[in-house]
Amino acid sequence: MTQIPMTPWQGPMIELQEVTKVFGPTRAVDNVSFMVPRGSVFGYIGPNGAGKTTSMRILSTLELPTSGDAFIEGLSSVNDPDRVRHRLGFMPDAFGSYSDTSCAEYLDFFARSNGLVGRERTRRIRWVMDFTGMRSMSEKPMNGLSKGMRQRLCLGRALIHDPSTLILDEPAAGLDPRARIELRQIIRTLAADGKTILISSHILSELAEMCDRVGIIEQGTLLANDTVDGLKGKSKPHQDLIVVVDGEVDSAIEVLNALPSVTDVEHRGQAIHFQTVAGNDNRIQILHQLCDAKIRVLEYRPIDESLEDLFLKVTTGKVQ
């Protein structure tokens, strides 16, 4: 009999539906909902104790919610945990090591735990070693690894069964700059290959570079869920700009101060900082006014808010 191939799941790969988790008097996660489509990278940020790790543990079948549900490829982490684990790779913020275990033995154990056998197990271990740059470390005891190599090994463990979805809890914590760059490149490659990734990090500049969307959580409550550009647009109705002129600073300041849409004009040498109503048409009009006044403009650009700036504006600094 001809076997009909299964249609790939068309809905969100990761979804939280009104998830709440209570520990005694503390609501670690409070009615949180969001979804991540296939092939996207979702950055999950918040202060320590905000509820990030608890949310991730619920998605990863390691914690049961007090109410609500979490889904991986449409499968409930509460009601169908075994099938969820086959589709999911979870990299915790900390993991144990074993003094007499080599890196290859460690990956082999988890390959067997995920049901890989024979040549397929050997192939996957070899692929993970190559992909994470661990081939030369295969026979080295895992407790002798540097922090960066330990993180690569943990990521390799999460990838061993070729999951469609990855949940990475603070993968860059404690890494030196080179190790962070290399880890970021690995994550970008995985996303380009179609993996769906939920990642938390305190290094917000890196998340801004690699994430399609970010969610900001504080005291268990999801405060924002948008693209970085979308968050910038919501954070304020005005825009900060800088114009650098060749001489004629006073004349440029006079032109800017005469425009009703321009405020807070300051100059630092030949650079003039000011604010204006957000919008490309308004920015173009200001540039035309400067050029019409024969001001020689060397540079004209917006001053973008960083993800750190947005995080500080959205959160209040409260902890549970």
pLDDT per position as a tens digit, 214-259: 999 999 999 989 887 777 666 566 788 889 998 889 999 999 999 9
> How confident is the model at residue 115, as a pLDDT?
92
> How confident is the model at residue 99, as a pLDDT?
78
> How confident is the model at residue 236, as a pLDDT?
62
> How confident is the model at residue 68, as a pLDDT?
97
What is the architecture of the domain spanning 14-226? 3-Layer(aba) Sandwich (3.40)
In 73-144, the DSSP E strands lie at 75-76, 88-91
> How confident is the model at residue 308, as a pLDDT?
74
pTM comes to: 0.78
Query: Would you say how long the chain is, in residues?
Result: 320
> How confident is the model at residue 318, as a pLDDT?
64
| Residue 111: both structure tokens together | 């390959």
> How confident is the model at residue 49, as a pLDDT?
86
Any idea which fold 236-305 has? Alpha-Beta Plaits (3.30.70)
Distance of CA 70 to the CA centre of its chain: 19
Q: For the segment 172-223, what is each residue's pLDDT rounded down to a tens digit?
A: 887 888 888 888 889 889 999 999 999 998 777 778 778 899 999 999 999 9
Q: Rounded to whole angstroms, how far apart are CA atoms 125 and 89?
A: 15
Q: Rounded to whole angstroms, how far apart are CA atoms 320 and 318?
A: 7
Contact 224, 36 (CB under 8 A): no
Contact 71, 14 (CB under 8 A): yes
Q: Rounded to whole angstroms, how far apart are CA atoms 132 and 190?
A: 11
Q: What is the residue extent of each domain of the chain?
A: 14-226, 236-305
Say what angle helices 103-113 and 147-159 make with each other, to 10 degrees. 20
The residues, any chain, with a CB within 8 Å of residue 111's CB and separated by 6 or more, are 121, 124, 125, 160, 161
Q: If the chain, 320 residues long, is cut into consecutive pieces of 10 residues, what is the mean pLDDT of each piece?
A: 60 96 94 95 90 96 96 96 95 82 94 93 95 91 88 93 95 83 88 94 78 92 87 70 89 92 87 82 87 91 76 69
Residue position matching structure tokens 């060397």 = 298
> How confident is the model at residue 1, as a pLDDT?
43
| Residue 310: both structure tokens together | 């947005």
